[in-house]
Structures are given as C-alpha cells and as structure tokens.
Amino acid sequence: MNHVLLPIAPTANGRLHLGHIGGPMLKMDVLARHYRRLGERVALIGSTDPYDSHILLRGRETGATPDDVVRYWHPLIERDLHAVGIVPDRFMNLLDEPWRRRNHDACARIIRDLRANGLVAVRRERFPFCTATAAFVTGGFVRGRCPQCAEPVSGYFCEECGLHFRPEQVIDTRCGFDDCTPEEREIPCLYARLPDPGAVIRRIADMGVPDQYGRVVRDYLRRQGPELRLTHPGTWGVPVAVEGSPVPQVAFTYVVCGLAFLTLSAQIGAEELGLAPDTAVHTVASFGFDNSLPFLLGGLGLAMALRDLRPTDHMLLNRFMTLDGSKFSTSRNHAIWAADLAAETGGDAIRAYLADRSPARSITDFSRAGFADHRDKVLRGRWREALRYAWTKDRAPGSTAPSALMSRLDELLSAQDRALAPANDDLPAVVSAVNAWVDDGAPSDGAAWWLRGLALLAAPVTPDFAGRLWQSLGLAGEPLVHSSGIPAVPREAPCAMP
Ligand SMILES: [Zn+2]
C-alpha cells in the first residue's frame, strides 16, 4: 500500500506553536510512522501557504515584502516541525521553483476545468473599499463580527463557528489598513457552483468525518447555497482574469489553492515514492475545523465535480487547543513555540502529551503543569521504571517469544491500528496502548521480547525513544513489525539502556 499524507500548509507568517503541532501536524506524522512500522510506503508532504492575506498583514507590520515574509518564516516553521520529530519527505516553499510554477499551473487548470464544465458563475457583490488607501479591503484585512455567531472575525472564515461568508455579510466592518469604516463598492467575482452538494455530504459522512464538522458544511449550504468563492481583488497570489472587474483579482487561496494543494501534493508524494503517474495512492489530509468549508466543500466537492481530479480519500479535522485555558495567540504572545520547548524537554515528551490531549473531536488544553506532570509521572515515572526493570532481566532473546506476550502485543498493535484508522482518528488510544504494555511490565522469561514490543508500540508517538531502544537491542533501522508480528533477532549484543 502507498500512502501520501498531507498536513495543512501553515501560513508562512509566524512560527508553529504547540496548538499547530497538536492539531493537524502531529497526527500525520504519527500515521506516517505507523504505516512505516508496518512496512508500507509513505510520503509525508508538507508546504507553507505563501498567499494567505495574513502574509500581507505581517508585511505591513514589519515593512517587509510578502516575498520576504515567506522566505523568513518558512524555514522557521520547518525547524519547529523537525524539533518535534516531524520530518516531511518534502517541505515545499511554494515561492521556489519548480513548486511555484506547478502551483500556479494547478490553480489555473482548476479554474479552466471548472469553466469548461460550466461550473463558474460571475457574481456581483459588495466589497469594503478603503478610500484613504484607495484599495479594496480583502481577506484578513476585513475585520468585524461573524454574521452567524457574532464573534470577532478577521477574513471570511469564523474560527468560532466555522462559517464562511461574503465580506458584505460581516457585521460592523472595519478596515485592517487604517481601521476606518470602509465604503462598499460593487465588483464581479468568480464563484464555483457545486453540481451535486448532496453527493458531497454523503461522501463526507462515508469518510467517517465526525458529524460536528459535516454540520458546518450543511449549515453553509443552507445559508449561502452551493457556491464557493474562487476569486477576490488582489495582486499577491495566483492571478485570475475576471470579466468586467475594474481591479486585478487573484485565486481565493482557501478554495482554489486548497484544492491545488491537495491534488498537487498528492502527485508530488507519488513522485517521491517513485510511482508511475496513474498509480493509485491512499491520500489523507489533516486540517483545523476553520478550514472545514474550503477543504470539505472545495477540496472534496470540486474534486468530485472535476472528473480529472482524484478526491482525497480521507480528511481529518480538529478543534483547537488552548494554552492554560485560553486561546493560543501570537499577538498576545500567549504561545509556546515547538522548537523552544523541544530544546528543553526533547520532542518525544511533547508528542506524547499532545497525542494524549488530541483535539480531534473537542477543544483540549495544553496545560504547562499538566505537561510537566505527564512527563514526570508517565514518561520519567512509569515508562522508565518498567524499562529499568526489564533491563535488569536477561535480555538475550530466547529462540521463541513467549506466546502470551506476543498475543498481548498483537492485541495492542491492533488497538493502535484501529485507533489510527482515519475514520477513528484517536491518538489518545495510541498512547493508552503503550501505557498498557508499560503497566503490564516485562515477564521474567521474555524481557528482550517485551523491550522490542515497547519499541514497536512507542514508535509512532515517541520515535526518538523507540528508535534508540530498538537500536540498543541490537536491531537495525527503525522499529518494524514483521509479517509474523515478531521483531527480528538482534544481530549484535545489546548496549546501554536508552
Ligand atoms: Zn461565527
């Protein structure tokens, strides 16, 4: 089986905090390591989003060009990922060639194919216009309140209720350029029309996407109809010609570049695996709940509408994590950057705690005290104690593993396999399986086998520890489940306890 895993492309306007890691990022890496441990082929393909309007916001704040903003933050984002053991097979800066050209081509092709299929409509709508700067106010520069839940918004998506709306629907609109109350001017924009929204809703349910996310899509269709924005005014992005527009327009990143991201990254993943262009690969994407509409309705729905595109097989969503009870916030400096904490504690401790607190179905909290407690009591406590006990036993493996131990290992590996099935998306259960093995402890007649089992079970969540344990048992490479379910006999004598 060939898998291509696609974590959301974070906007290249700041570093990754633990909420980003615990939300959409870590689960893709855990899944990649799970598939690899089974001997399957995986490409983890990452990138950053260079065209989100928040790049322009950041540029205005710092006096940098958007290009400079992306080039500054992209490597720092990559460093935050690496610090917690998330090492994509490719991590693309979409402003670099050949990715830039391929991304622009993919976006242009999507618009062209939608037009050819009669799925593009020109809609006249009112956009906020800042008279002082003589510019349309778009994307993150549109401030106000959500038309559905009245929470503050910046842009056309609400992080609270997930709704996507038109700028003219925002309540109490302010302009992000100079905080004026903008005028409104009518302009034409392109919209995509979904030919069969019912089929998209059924597909979302069949994928096993929890209903709380499917509901966001149904609410949108009821409120806004089966149309999705394709363009808005602007010059930073992928240019799109819009008939009758008095100003240049660009592809709406969330919908057009979102779909291009899914299809292009899947293709690049297949290339990474050395597969012929038409080989079937299993694709899984992962993103936050505020991206429900662009990814579920745009990424999936439009791919279903265009026959040449293969829709993503699974989409994993998440709610957000809070930090000590309140939202992570870069502007309030209420955040912990992944590489900073990893420098103190190592990536594994962060991964294990974040996996245990996965926000796949509800908001969860990263508590500093809870993290320290988990690290000290679970990892440095129970895990280390069980490891130390096993290490004192005879670690020369007998020729056959104790059968009771091996059936227990099978049971826990199966539990992890079920938990990691995309429709279940249950990282806490993956951690629980390791804890269960730890709490069972090593049997007196099979410490070596128990230690291998620990390395195997821990490999997706705490890969650094698991890899070192595996190698200190004299085994080569990374932990790998063999077809028999029993790890291979070591080649050389064991060394120091990891
Ligand atoms: Zn809302």
Residue 105 reports pLDDT greater than 70: yes
- Per-residue pLDDT averaged across 277-295, rounded? 92
Instruction: Quote the ligand 1 centre to 144 CA distance (angstroms).
Output: 11
Q: Which are the contacts of 453, defined by CB distance < 8 A and separation ≥ 6?
A: 405, 409, 412, 437, 487
Residue 425 reports pLDDT greater than 80: yes
Instruction: Quote the ligand 1 centre to 386 CA distance (angstroms).
Output: 48
Instruction: Quote the ligand 1 centre to 165 CA distance (angstroms).
Output: 9
pLDDT digits (tens, 9 = 90+) for 163-217: 899 999 999 999 999 999 999 999 999 999 999 999 999 999 999 999 999 999 9
| Dist. CA 17–CA 128, nearest whole Å | 32
Overall pTM surpassing 0.75 (yes/no):
yes
How confident is residue 491, by pLDDT bands cut at 50, 70 and 90? very low
- What integer pLDDT is reported at residue 484 of this predicted model? 44
Instruction: Quote the ligand 1 centre to 156 CA distance (angstroms).
Output: 10
Instruction: Quote the ligand 1 centre to 47 CA distance (angstroms).
Output: 28
Query: Cα separations (Å) of 315 from 169, 207, 208, 211, 278?
Result: 29, 7, 9, 13, 21
Residue 263 reports pLDDT greater than 50: yes
Mean pLDDT of the chain: 93
Instruction: Quote the ligand 1 centre to 250 CA distance (angstroms).
Output: 25
Instruction: Quote the ligand 1 centre to 160 CA distance (angstroms).
Output: 5
90-93 and 41-48 strand pairing = parallel
Q: Which are the contacts of 274, defined by CB distance < 8 A and separation ≥ 6?
A: none
Are residues 312 and 262 in contact, defined by beta-carbon separation less than 8 angstroms?
yes
Order of all β-strands in the sheet with 364-366: 326-327, 321-323, 364-366
Instruction: Quote the ligand 1 centre to 166 CA distance (angstroms).
Output: 13
- What integer pLDDT is reported at residue 495 of this predicted model? 60
CA-closest candidate to residue 107, choices 53, 57, 50: 50
Highest mean pLDDT pick, 158-162, 359-363, 447-451:
359-363
- What integer pLDDT is reported at residue 482 of this predicted model? 78
- What integer pLDDT is reported at residue 265 of this predicted model? 96
Angle, vertex CA 58, rays to CA 54 and CA 64, nearest 5: 130
- Quick one: what percent of the chain has pLDDT higher than 70? 96
How confident is residue 456, by pLDDT bands cut at 50, 70 and 90? very high
- What integer pLDDT is reported at residue 474 of this predicted model? 86
**Cis amide prior to 98 (ω within 30 degrees):** yes
Per CATH, is 2-327 categorized as 1.10.1200.10? Answer: no
Instruction: Quote the ligand 1 centre to 308 CA distance (angstroms).
Output: 34
pLDDT digits (tens, 9 = 90+) for 332-382: 889 999 999 999 999 999 999 999 999 999 999 999 999 999 999 999 999
More confident residue, 486 or 436: 436
Instruction: Quote the ligand 1 centre to 223 CA distance (angstroms).
Output: 13
Residue 159 reports pLDDT greater than 90: no
pLDDT digits (tens, 9 = 90+) for 305-314: 998 899 999 9
- What integer pLDDT is reported at residue 445 of this predicted model? 84
pLDDT digits (tens, 9 = 90+) for 204-239: 999 999 999 999 999 999 988 999 999 999 999 999
Residue 423 reports pLDDT greater than 50: yes
Residue 486 reports pLDDT greater than 50: yes
Highest mean pLDDT pick, 61-65, 349-353, 493-497:
349-353
- Per-residue pLDDT averaged across 148-159, rounded? 92
Instruction: Quote the ligand 1 centre to 148 CA distance (angstroms).
Output: 5
Angle, vertex CA 186, rays to CA 217 and CA 155, nearest 5: 40
User: Domain residues of the chain, as ranges?
Assistant: 2-327, 368-472
